[in-house]
Chains A and B, each alone.
Chain A
Amino acid sequence: MSASAGPAVASGHPTVAGTADAKRLPKPRGERFGGLVEGWLRGHTLLIYLFLYIPIIVVVIFSFNATNRRVTDWQGFSLKWYASVLSDKVVQSALTNSFIVATSTAIISTVFGTMAALGLQRAPKWFQRPFEALTFVSIIVPEIVIALATLVFFSSSFDVINPIFGLKLKLGFPTIIAAHALFNISLVMLLVRARLSGMDRTHVEASYDLYGTPWRTFWQITFPQLLPAVVAGFLLSFTFSFDDYVITTFVSGAGSTTLPLYIFSTIRKGVTPATNAVAALMLLITLTILIVGQLVVARNARRASGRGAGVAQMITEQSA
């Protein structure tokens, strides 16, 4: 029924050629309801994306609201809130701070979390069990508890360390990033570990047999297989950190107000369309980066496929 399934079955084992098409799942044979299932899959996916984006659309629409106070009271179309945001230093500084913190946290967490997942597989059981327990505890601890406790920890430590070493450590970006990274390292670790489970050393062994160095083996064999989990971990870490309120509130210092802090503090006065405008601008920036990124990746992919396929590439394609 489908071309790619034929040779794979006939020869009794999957071939390289067969798996190249495995990226696109061939229609399951003997499926009377195949079309229905497909339709349902597509429909469900579309529904979920709609669900995720409906509030965003509402937010963007109301960012053009000409009202003076309450966001949802439509008073006509206006760009004034965008003008206000672009000239409001407090909002801009909050936005910048959020970006700095979230990016740093995401990088740190992704690197250390991935390393931990890889290392944990090699570690003896007496280390693994407590380490895993700590991972879970870091997720279990309610935010307000860890936030307050971390604040007390930092301030007490600084009170002790600063006089002794003549330093001037204080609350600020480093403390926020460190506190965010705790949860995110665990997050990345769990994601990568889920990805690692069941993975075997076949390709790694193959690479070594072909005189690959450990370094190259990692980057060309193992890492590409981990990539989806690493990317997912990075995205989730960035998101969690960017949007965090409770922990940031407690461990931030002067001048490190992030966007969520700013927004939460204005709710008493009423959320104005200015915050919607900020959100809309954020969307614009990220979507632009995404589109540009996609174009760059597509262009590189086209260029790369022209190069001769190395052994490593062949091996990765086999397993990807």
Chain B
Amino acid sequence: MAAITEAVPVRPARPPRSIRSAALTTVLVLPASLWYIILLVLPLAIVVVMSFGLQGNHGSYAPGFTLDNYGSAFERLTPFTTSLWLSLAGTILCLLAALPIAYFIATRAGRRKSLFIVLLVVPFWTSFLIRTYAWLTILGPDGLGGFIGDSIGDPGFRILGTPAAVLLGVVYGYLPLMIFPIYVTLERMDRTLVEASKDLGAGRWSTFRQITLPIILPGLLTGSILVFIPLMGEYVIPAILGYGRVFLIGNQLVLQFLESRNWPEGAARAVVLILIMLVSVIFYLWFANRGRKTRDVSVI
């Protein structure tokens, strides 16, 4: 008996695999969760309560219960569809503009990657208004708009106040939001896989579809969400560069909360918007990710 136990070698103590799972997970998600509860859920609860209320004497909110606001929220839907078109166009343009530059920085910039990345956002540390007004000068009658108008002999020609100007301003403002997510996924890609694929005879498109695309897909999805969604609420750029000729849901909401001071109706409209968008995003992600096997593996 004793001989057997002595013969069995004693294994050295194994290193710890990880800290107790649940505790670590809780600690990690706790701060963000608190933020969501206190600064998102509670204020939104206020919005929902407001949406059933009445307009006060001087505007704002008065307690009450009515469904009228939701009725009105579904009227005058044109701004919503206009916003949809703008967001769609803006997202696609951003995508087209962002992909090559994200690819370039991830693969060609070498050690100066971080410099390239930071240089992308430095322009945005000057005030938004100043930048947009600079575009007014550049595209206006004293700038490009006038130049083109004179060249083609049309005194009434205008770049500003057209959807083109709005889209330019939108792409200008939202481009980093598309570049960064694509860049962070692209940068992680092991390029030897691409190389190997090509060496094994796969064409460029096959390689892209089977190697590159699955890796950068999360970046593409994140980028498109980060651009499309805030774009739906955008109203300042169209007001300035579009001369206010495009009336979007952002304009509508601001009008209701500030000038009309009809908080309950604005709140109802906002709730409807949020629900529609949330459902759309969930559907969009489900659709894009179907067939993809995503395993959530903890990396700590």
Residues on A facing B (Cβ under 8 Å): 5, 8-9, 14, 18-19, 22-26, 28-31, 40-42, 44-45, 48-49, 51-56, 58-59, 62, 71-72, 111-113, 115-116, 118-123, 127-128, 131, 133-146, 148-150, 152-153, 178-179, 181-182, 185, 187, 189-191, 193-201, 204, 208-209, 211-214, 217-218, 222, 225, 228-229, 231-232, 235-236, 238-239, 242-243, 245, 259-260, 263-264, 267, 271, 275-276, 278-280, 282-283, 286-287, 290, 294, 297, 301, 319
Knowing A52-B120, A116-B29, A191-B181, say if A239 contacts B125 (CB, 8 Å): yes
Q: Which partner residue on chain A sits nearest B223 by CB separation?
A: A194
Q: List 27 A-B contacts (CB under 8 A).
A: A9-B196, A23-B110, A48-B175, A59-B126, A62-B137, A118-B299, A120-B29, A136-B229, A140-B277, A140-B281, A142-B253, A145-B47, A152-B43, A153-B39, A193-B222, A194-B181, A194-B222, A197-B185, A197-B294, A217-B300, A232-B184, A243-B127, A260-B127, A263-B127, A264-B129, A290-B118, A294-B115
By the criterion CB–CB under 8 Å, are A136 and B130 in contact?
Answer: no
Q: Which partner residue on chain B sits nearest A48 by CB separation?
A: B101
Is chain A's binding surface mostly helix, strand, loop or mixed?
helix
CB distance from A180 to the nearest CB of B (A): 10
> Residues of B contacting A5 with CB < 8 Å?
195, 199
CB distance from A19 to the nearest CB of B (A): 6
Knowing A123-B29, A137-B274, say if A228 contacts B184 (CB, 8 Å): yes
> Residues of A contacting B28 with CB < 8 Å?
115-116, 118-120, 122
> Residues of B contacting A214 with CB < 8 Å?
16, 18-19, 300
Q: Given the complex of chains A and B, what is the CA–CA distance between A19 and B194 in angstroms?
A: 12
> Residues of B contacting A113 with CB < 8 Å?
32
Q: Residues 260-288 of chain B: 1 if any A CB is under 8 Å from the residue's CB, otherwise 0? A: 00010011001001100110011000000
> Residues of B contacting A30 with CB < 8 Å?
198
Contacting B121 at CB < 8 Å: which of A22, A131, A195, A239? A239
By the criterion CB–CB under 8 Å, are A123 and B36 in contact?
Answer: no
Contacting A58 at CB < 8 Å: which of B42, B44, B134? B134
CB distance from B187 to the nearest CB of A (A): 5
By the criterion CB–CB under 8 Å, are B122 and A225 in contact?
Answer: no
By the criterion CB–CB under 8 Å, are B192 and A18 in contact?
Answer: yes
By the criterion CB–CB under 8 Å, are B263 and A148 in contact?
Answer: yes
Q: Is B41 an interface residue (CB 8 A)?
A: yes
Q: Given the complex of chains A and B, what is the CA–CA distance between A56 and B125 in angstroms?
A: 10
Contacting B39 at CB < 8 Å: which of A19, A72, A119, A150? A150
CB distance from B14 to the nearest CB of A (A): 9
CB distance from B165 to the nearest CB of A (A): 13
Knowing A59-B130, A122-B28, say if A201 contacts B122 (CB, 8 Å): no
> Residues of A contacting B85 with CB < 8 Å?
none
Contacting B298 at CB < 8 Å: which of A9, A135, A201, A225? A201
Q: Which partner residue on chain B sits nearest A250 by CB separation?
A: B257
> Residues of B contacting A236 with CB < 8 Å?
121, 176-177, 180
Q: Given the complex of chains A and B, what is the CA–CA distance between A239 and B16 in angstroms?
A: 40
> Residues of A contacting B297 with CB < 8 Å?
121, 199-201
Chain A to chain B: the 10 pairs with minimum beta-carbon distance, closest first: A119-B28, A116-B32, A149-B43, A55-B134, A279-B126, A142-B233, A119-B29, A112-B31, A122-B298, A194-B218
Residues on B facing A (Cβ under 8 Å): 15-19, 21, 24-29, 31-33, 35-36, 39-44, 46-47, 50, 97, 100-101, 103-105, 107-108, 110-111, 113-115, 117-131, 133-135, 137-138, 142, 172, 175-177, 180-181, 183-185, 187-188, 190-192, 194-196, 198-199, 204, 214-215, 218-219, 221-222, 225-226, 229-230, 232-233, 236, 249-250, 253-254, 257-258, 263, 266-267, 270, 273-274, 277-278, 281-282, 294, 296-300
By the criterion CB–CB under 8 Å, are B125 and A14 in contact?
Answer: no
Knowing A14-B190, A137-B278, A182-B35, say if A144 contacts B298 (CB, 8 Å): no
Identify the interface centre among A45, A194, A209, A231: most chain B CB within 10 Å of its CB. A194
Q: Given the complex of chains A and B, what is the CA–CA distance between A18 and B192 in angstroms?
A: 8
Contacting A282 at CB < 8 Å: which of B31, B50, B126, B134? B126
Q: Which partner residue on chain A sits nearest B216 by CB separation?
A: A194
Known: A22-B191, A58-B138, A139-B226. 5 other contacts (CB 8 A): A149-B47, A200-B299, A211-B15, A264-B129, A283-B125
> Residues of B contacting A182 with CB < 8 Å?
35-36, 39-40
By the criterion CB–CB under 8 Å, are B117 and A235 in contact?
Answer: yes
CB distance from B78 to the nearest CB of A (A): 17
By the criterion CB–CB under 8 Å, are A136 and B225 in contact?
Answer: yes
Q: Which partner residue on chain B sits nearest A56 by CB separation?
A: B123
